[in-house]
Amino acid sequence: MSSTLLKNFIHGRYVSHNDNTCFDVINPATGEIIYAVEAASEALLEQSLLSAQQGFIKWSKTPAIERARILQRAAAILRERNDELARVEVLDTGKPWQEAAVVDVQTGADAIEYFANLCPSMMGEQQSVGDDFFYTRHEPLGVCFGIGAWNYPLQIACWKAAAALAAGNSMIFKPSEETPRGATLLAEILIEAGVPAGVFNVVHGDGKVGNYMVEHPAIAKVSLTGEVGTGKKVMAAAAGTLKKVTMELGGKSPLIVFDDADIDEAVTGAMIGNFYTQGEVCTNGTRVFVHQDCYDAFLERLLERSKNNVIVGNPLDPKTNLGALISSSHMHKVLDYIQLGKDQGATLAFGGERIKPLGCENGFFVGPTIFTDCTDDMRITREEIFGPVMSVLKFATEDEVIQRANNSDFGLAAGVFCKDIRRAHRVIAQLEAGICWINAYGNSPVEMPVGGYKQSGIGRENGIEAFRSYTQTKSIYVGMNKLEGPF
């Protein structure tokens, strides 16, 4: 890979179109341009489609056990190259090294390994109907299109590729313009592991590139990770050809702390659910509902730990645990929300400012921010901010908090901290959210299906459900007696 110019990766190699349509990628921690990327032209997109169709023919005929072996090799290479890949993610996203080194590459490799192990054991069914019988085949869909967000670039590419490829599909992937390297390096690794050329291509560009592919009749399915607004556009574009869609979208998730909770643990959950990856996590529990009887104790501990334990700094420094936001414009969006919170009457209990760490003065850092005296109708408690901004809300009764937690168009995640196990399960059962945690927050092992209720998404990633979503069922009826008819 060129260190200064990243090209599209098609049919097992980097491809150039020489028409000079490039865009820059900026290191969010320094504000410096770190490399340029060639955007895919229409001709190149067509080339990627042709290649993916060829790749599909070969890959879908490859025995599942062989597909599994190849994908397992890819997972092993990802793990071997962990530090190099994690560094790429840190430079592209601004997230702390201490996270990327243990999460981003590893969870990507986990997904490839999990789906690789699953694919040889996915069987069809057979059933007798009188003398006749039928059987089912779970067949791949064809060429799928993955669209990635910028917060977990390599992990998102791995999650989508893992399920799609294990099921025998080929995939063309468009990473976010802001973080295009992770997916491209994955494409290299898949080739090195033995995946045939064309089975995983990467095309670069903005929403227009994405839209071209979403509308294209040669694409069988689209899987998007992005904002709700983008999801609506992508779904509308996919409707023209009635494509299958998986949508992993945004959220404004509730995290509920009951009065019997272990306060320190609940504070840990709230801090993970708001400050991990500097708040740029779709499942963040940004509406922290705290029971009135433990509110003061919770807040005291939260403020103390936010003040003493959060280290904002150069993301490559292993001590840093809160990095830079993805871009200058995103940082200003987050700062605007903080101003809005103050204007609408919330109390800024902590943080709320841009930070310029030593050596990273031009980076896009916002310190951990905590609002109290929030109400349910404030924009900071209704809209996804996607930065380290927590809103703390007080509640009195179980029924009240369930109703308030569900009062959102989003429905991605939810968390409950309490020791009463009956209450924990009773409350979770009533929450309108696809991913829920009890006395935990944020962990998402590949075995567990993840996805949103309401406007937070359609379909699921990970788990067996995701594998199925990359297949279509064919039923084959077999007549065992001479066919009689009325004609």
Q: By the criterion CB under 6 A, which residues form the site for ligand NDP?
A: 147-151, 174, 176-177, 206-207, 210-211, 214, 225-227, 230, 233-234, 248-251, 282, 384, 386, 412, 452, 457
Closer to ligand NDP by Cβ: residue 254 or 457: 457
* CA-closest candidate to residue 455, choices 409, 413, 423, 414: 409
Minimum CB–partner distance for residue 460 and ligand NDP (Å): 10
Given 177, 188, 248, 384, the catalytic residue: 248
Closer to ligand NDP by Cβ: residue 252 or 291: 252
**CA-CA distances (angstroms) from residue 38 to 121, 159, 360, 385?**
40, 24, 27, 30
CA–CA–CA angle 298, 299, 305 (5° rounding) = 90
- C-alpha to C-alpha distance for 84 and 7, rounded to whole angstroms: 19
Minimum CB–partner distance for residue 450 and ligand NDP (Å): 6
Catalytic site includes residue 42: no
Given 177, 178, 188, 461, the catalytic residue: 461
Minimum CB–partner distance for residue 459 and ligand NDP (Å): 11
Closer to ligand NDP by Cβ: residue 100 or 401: 100
Catalytic site includes residue 436: no
- C-alpha to C-alpha distance for 44 and 17, rounded to whole angstroms: 7
Minimum CB–partner distance for residue 282 and ligand NDP (Å): 3
Minimum CB–partner distance for residue 330 and ligand NDP (Å): 8
Catalytic site includes residue 384: no
Minimum CB–partner distance for residue 174 and ligand NDP (Å): 6
Q: Are strands 254-257 and 287-291 parallel, antiparallel or unpaired?
A: parallel
Minimum CB–partner distance for residue 265 and ligand NDP (Å): 25
Catalytic site includes residue 160: yes
**Nearest residue to ligand NDP, by Cβ distance, number only:** 210
Given 160, 174, 221, 243, the catalytic residue: 160
Closer to ligand NDP by Cβ: residue 38 or 384: 384
* Residue 485 exposed, middle or buried by CB count within 10 Å (0-12, 13-18, 19+): exposed
Given 119, 158, 282, 418, the catalytic residue: 282
Closer to ligand NDP by Cβ: residue 383 or 398: 383
Minimum CB–partner distance for residue 150 and ligand NDP (Å): 5
Closer to ligand NDP by Cβ: residue 170 or 225: 225
Residues carrying an active site annotation: 160, 248, 282, 461
